[in-house]
Amino acid sequence: MKFLGNEMITVEDGILKIDGYNATELAKEYGTPLYVMSESQIVKNFTRYVEAFKEYTEKTGKEFIVGYAYKANSNLAITRLLSKLGCGADVVSGGELYTAKLSNVPSEKIVFNGNCKTKDEIIMGIEANIRSFNVDSISELILINETAKEMGKVANVAFRINPNVNPKTHPKISTGLKKNKFGLDVESGIAMKAIKMAKDMENVNIVGVHCHIGSQLTDITPFIEETRKVMDFVVELKKEGIKIKDVNLGGGLGIPYDKNTEIPTQKDLANAIINTMMEYKDKIELPNLILEPGRSLVATAGVLLGKVHHIKETPVAKWIMVDAGMNDMMRPAMYDAYHEITPCIIRNENKKEVVNIAGGLCESSDVFGKDRELPKIEVNDIVAILDVGAYGISMANNYNARGRPRMILTSEKGVYIIRERETYADLLSKDIVPNYLL
């Protein structure tokens, strides 16, 4: 049994292992629900980006920067690991910027995204001397300029443009269409207007153009269209006397959640983007290139382990009830997302039954998989939900007064707890009871 994209997972004599560690034994030792992150898989995923895009640096002499999208998984051990590998940071909040600095990410490798930056966050970014704020609106540009003036500083800005590109992905993770809330529209001239305004401002420094069209893209074509539209815009800016140092094409490369589906690799993405960028080498001086991958760096490195507490048969289905729930991992409930699921003890791979795998929350949407054909599962077995390293723990919550789960890191050096399980006391630690109720 093989799981596409999850090289750290093996099955030996019916036992599922993660980086060589018995998944069932990990669950027994560290408790469930349990997130398991593989260091080796993260390193492989990151290295593939670096190797795939080194051709751009070789051909142009320009920088290539991977800015990990912290929204995917901002656990401090994960962000420190990536920082040690040379990875930058794409942050969308003060909290993520704080994490990036604690992770020792150099300021020149940090970009600040988001469509509603607050003044306090802008102050943080200016104080940190980040590479750029990716400006999402004219009002934001004005606030950045005013804030920088108050501080006696100059803020670096890039401009997030909306190219109206269909990313061919789930509507809830599409970000580059005209109807989406993100970016400055190119076709109407708003983007050009904003950049010309910035040119006349004293406390901002124009450094780049940014674009992000969506997440979980499984077709290279939208990336090519995005790159061409961004570069066409950079050519227009040159005509206006505005030189662009950085082009940031965002992230969005998908991963094979469905193991029967082959999807583009980092090399496929690199070939498409580099070939398109090189079409412009005689029109402009080619810029530094920045990408903001999140999912494709960490998703395949994560597994959520849940213990089977009950099995229930109804007239229409057989339900496997596990102690993980949608509060631990929201993607199936929120996006109808598919995740591969497997028991950690595979008794007979050739003898399967159709089951539903669900959590114990008071929501009908608290289901990880319906009508899954799986080897026989028994009470007290451990079930593994794959590809949860991105938008798993980062979207976890305390619904039904459940603590967020523990997370461990598997590596050649051993197994390490990198996030402790929340206790009942943690759940109430921020609540305050007025005196009259005491």
For the annotated catalytic residues, the residue numbers are 362
Question: How many CB atoms are located within 10 Å of the residue 344 CB?
Answer: 25
The C-alpha atoms of residue 110 and residue 124 are separated, in whole angstroms, by 12
Residue 94 to residues 80, 256, 413, 419: CA-CA distances in angstroms? Answer: 17, 31, 32, 20
279 is in an annotated binding site: no
- Is residue 150 part of an annotated ligand binding site? no
- From 116, 135, 119, select the one nearest 127 (Cα to Cα): 119
Half-sphere exposure of 125 (CA within 13 A, CB side): 35
CA nearest neighbour of 286 among 64, 119, 13, 24: 64
| Cα 94 to Cα 8: distance, rounded to the nearest angstrom | 33
Rg of the Cα atoms in the chain: 23
DSSP codes of every residue in 118-146: -HHHHHHHHHHT-SEEEE-SHHHHHHHHH
Annotated binding residue 294: yes
- Residue 213 sits at φ, ψ, to 5 deg, of -105, -10
| Total residue count of the chain as it appears in this document | 438
Beta strands 352-358 and 367-375, pairing class: antiparallel
Residue 404 annotated in ligand binding: no
3-state secondary structure of 376: coil
- The C-alpha atoms of residue 103 and residue 91 are separated, in whole angstroms, by 12
- Residue 367 one-letter amino acid: V
Distance (Å, rounded) from C-alpha 140 to C-alpha 137? 5
Q: Is 170 left (phi over 0), alpha (psi -120 to 50) or beta?
A: beta
* 391 carries a ligand binding annotation: yes
The annotation status of 363 as a binding-site residue, yes or no, is: yes
Phi, psi of 350 (to 5 degrees): -90, -10
Residue 265's SS3 state is coil
Has 422 been labeled as part of a binding site? Answer: no
Enumerate the known binding-site residues.
252, 292-295, 331, 335, 363, 391
Enumerate the known binding-site residues for substrate.
295, 331, 335, 363, 391
Enumerate the known binding-site residues for pyridoxal 5'-phosphate.
252, 292-295, 391
